[in-house]
Amino acid sequence: MKTLYRGYLAGPIITALWSVTIVITVAVALSLGTGIPLRPSNLVSLLAGALVGLAFPLLRRPILVAAGATVLFALLTVSGIGPINFREETGSVTALLFGGVAGAAVSFSAARIIGDLPFGGMDRHEFENCVLRFLIGFGFVVFTAAVLIPFGVMVATSLKSQQELLQNPLDYSIDLSKGWDLLRSYRELFVDFNFGSYLWTSFYVSVVTVFVTLLFSVPGAYAVARLRFAGQKQFSQSILLIYMVPMIVLALPIYMAFSVAGLRNSILGIILIYPVTTIPVALYILQGYFRGIPVEIEEAGLMDGLGRLSVIRRITLPLCLPALASVSLYVFMIAWNEFLLAFMLLDDPSKFTLTRGVAMLNSSEIPRQHLMAGAVIASVPVLALFMGLERFLTRGLTAGSVKG
């Protein structure tokens, strides 16, 4: 390991690996974004990266080296050797541009990673910091790509037509000249597939679920957290236990009971069952919050002549408003995203929730872009809500432990 503690070894090795990572990333991004078929050449990017990695500690002029590397990558690409190879005849301006972009992306970020490396020996700190910066950069690239690519593909596919998708499944460039025609899949979903009504059903089912859940779980959580009664401890443990019973175990008897009672295929049945799946979670989160409120405040209220119920209403609940917001958002998310029960209990297309409606689109007769448009419609409200109120939701998520 100690032999690596030298700038002229560590620099090239780390930059070479970094170069391969970034060139592949840039090639994938450019390929998906422009539809031009590209192929990254790992050997070339490895060698070019190593060269650049040697130049940084040798010259110790990061900006100059990075600029030089950009030119080098661009020229290599134009001459056809390049870290980026084109599978079809492409103009040299495009090649110059793509090579330059790859070169700049590699070298300017590499300057941040190994820019201050000495040419000769270095100590353990310098070396490990350098490796650490590489790992951090690598992590950012990998995680961001892993999250962005699926969601990007979802949105981009929904804007394509069947023909375009079959022609080149890699072309996700958006042709703005089509104007409103880009949103054709969405229009068809709303006009022909009744998605407006599914959206509304999902919305009010989720809102009702939130209200019913709070109505049941607030008093329950308060009792478990504050009041002394025989079996209190066992009770708070069994909440967690109940909340761990998987829905698939219960789905079978519920399906049978609902069939007998005529509640299958009705929104009422869904509204009856959803809160019960969320009450244990809400109870579990809320009792934690209630325990965190100093008991003295409530005792002061009791001393001043309030009854227990007024203490809850006038003291505890106002203090818990942020917690209630977190729980509401979390429950809304669970109800909005719920799939299994909606799938098993609803058969009549006029009563579908959004998730059930999207599941209906998964058939070989319905084109893919419709399915993806449905997925976008189902995701956007909950993601928008989440981005807007992230603070509350993350608190709900962490407190709700790990329901999933």
Two tokens, residue 26: 């840039």
Query: 40: which strand partners?
Result: 84
* CB of 386 vs other proteins, minimal distance in Å: 5
Q: CA separation (Å) from 20 to 32, 63, 93?
A: 18, 21, 23
For strand 84-86 and strand 38-40, is the pairing parallel, antiparallel, or unpaired? Answer: antiparallel
* CB of 255 vs other proteins, minimal distance in Å: 8
Two tokens, residue 102: 């790859």
H-helix or E-strand spanning residue 150:
helix 124-158
* CB of 226 vs other proteins, minimal distance in Å: 8
Q: How many CB atoms lie within 10 A of CB 33?
A: 15
DSSP assigned state of 315: I
Residue of 120, 124, 131 lying closest to 58 (CA atoms): 120
Are 194 and 349 a contacting pair, CB within 8 Å? yes
**Of 90 and 401, which CB lies nearer to other proteins in the complex structure?**
401
Are 360 and 230 a contacting pair, CB within 8 Å? no
**Of 124 and 291, which CB lies nearer to other proteins in the complex structure?**
124
* CB of 252 vs other proteins, minimal distance in Å: 5
**Of 351 and 368, which CB lies nearer to other proteins in the complex structure?**
368
Which residues fall within 8 angstroms of residue 192, CB to CB, at 6 or more apart?
none
* CB of 36 vs other proteins, minimal distance in Å: 10
**Of 65 and 221, which CB lies nearer to other proteins in the complex structure?**
221
* CB of 58 vs other proteins, minimal distance in Å: 25
**Of 27 and 55, which CB lies nearer to other proteins in the complex structure?**
27
Two tokens, residue 370: 């419709």
**Of 54 and 370, which CB lies nearer to other proteins in the complex structure?**
370
Are 52 and 82 a contacting pair, CB within 8 Å? no
H-helix or E-strand spanning residue 161:
none
* CB of 60 vs other proteins, minimal distance in Å: 23
**Of 3 and 179, which CB lies nearer to other proteins in the complex structure?**
3
